[in-house]
Copies of this chain bind each other. A is one copy, B any other.
Amino acid sequence: MKPDQPTTPASGTRLYSFVGGNSGNWRVTRMDPIIGEPLPVADFLQIVPEAVSGASAAWVLRGITSNERYVTRDEKSELVAKQEGLGRPASRCAMLIPIKKSAAWWNLTQDERRKIFEEQSSPIKIGMGFLPAIARRLHHCRDLGPDEPFDFLTWFEFAPENVAAFDDLTAQLRASPEWKYVSRECDIRLERISG
């Protein structure tokens, strides 16, 4: 086998595994199935910057960061100016929201999806209102392969004093027109125990 080599070396991976099980730097404080089938219970979460098999884990969810699908340049500039990164010392609370969207969503064309985003507040604008308090990283799963259980994994980090603001953010997202196309959703709350 002579696998074809990438022309340029990877500058920092884009692929992450979220491993739910008996160990990790994040303790799971709550797991709620919001829509559809729940995930098996896990007490801890470890985030690994590569694909892992997780033989002893309750579950492994994989996702890859990618290019923006909807954000315009003006929105991007505003986001970059306001947002702060993951790993801030004060961010001891986190949430992982795995979601799957319906076939109806994926059969829409780009203009139709963007229009749904704009019908009410777009998720971009909703998130903007909570910057820089809530840091976020979106991972895409759907194009990792044909059998991924979810389409997106969104990871949020925030300080304990922003928990109420965070509940407000998730309530706004779940009330948005886009969320009508969500066919599976889990809500996993966590707190950092080390690192």
Contacts and interface: CB of A to CB of B under 8 A. Distances in A.
The 9 residue pairs across chains A and B that have the minimum distance between CB atoms: A143-B143, A72-B111, A4-B149, A4-B59, A67-B106, A73-B109, A14-B146, A13-B146, A15-B146
A7 interface: yes
A50 B140 CA distance: 20
A106 B68 CA distance: 8
A114 B72 CA distance: 10
B109 A143 contact: no
B64 A146 contact: yes
A5 interface: yes
Contact of A4 (B39, B64, B110): B39
Interface in A60-84: 60-61, 64, 66-73, 75-76
B1 A54 contact: yes
Quickly give the copy total for this chain. 2
Contacts of A15: 145-146
Contacts of A54: 1
A144 interface: yes
Given A53-B1, A60-B4, A110 B69 contact: yes
A10 interface: yes
Contact of A7 (B14, B37, B112): B37
Given A10-B146, A73-B109, A146-B14, A3 B64 contact: no
A74 to B, nearest CB: 9
A68 B146 contact: no
Given A37-B7, A145-B15, A59 B2 contact: yes
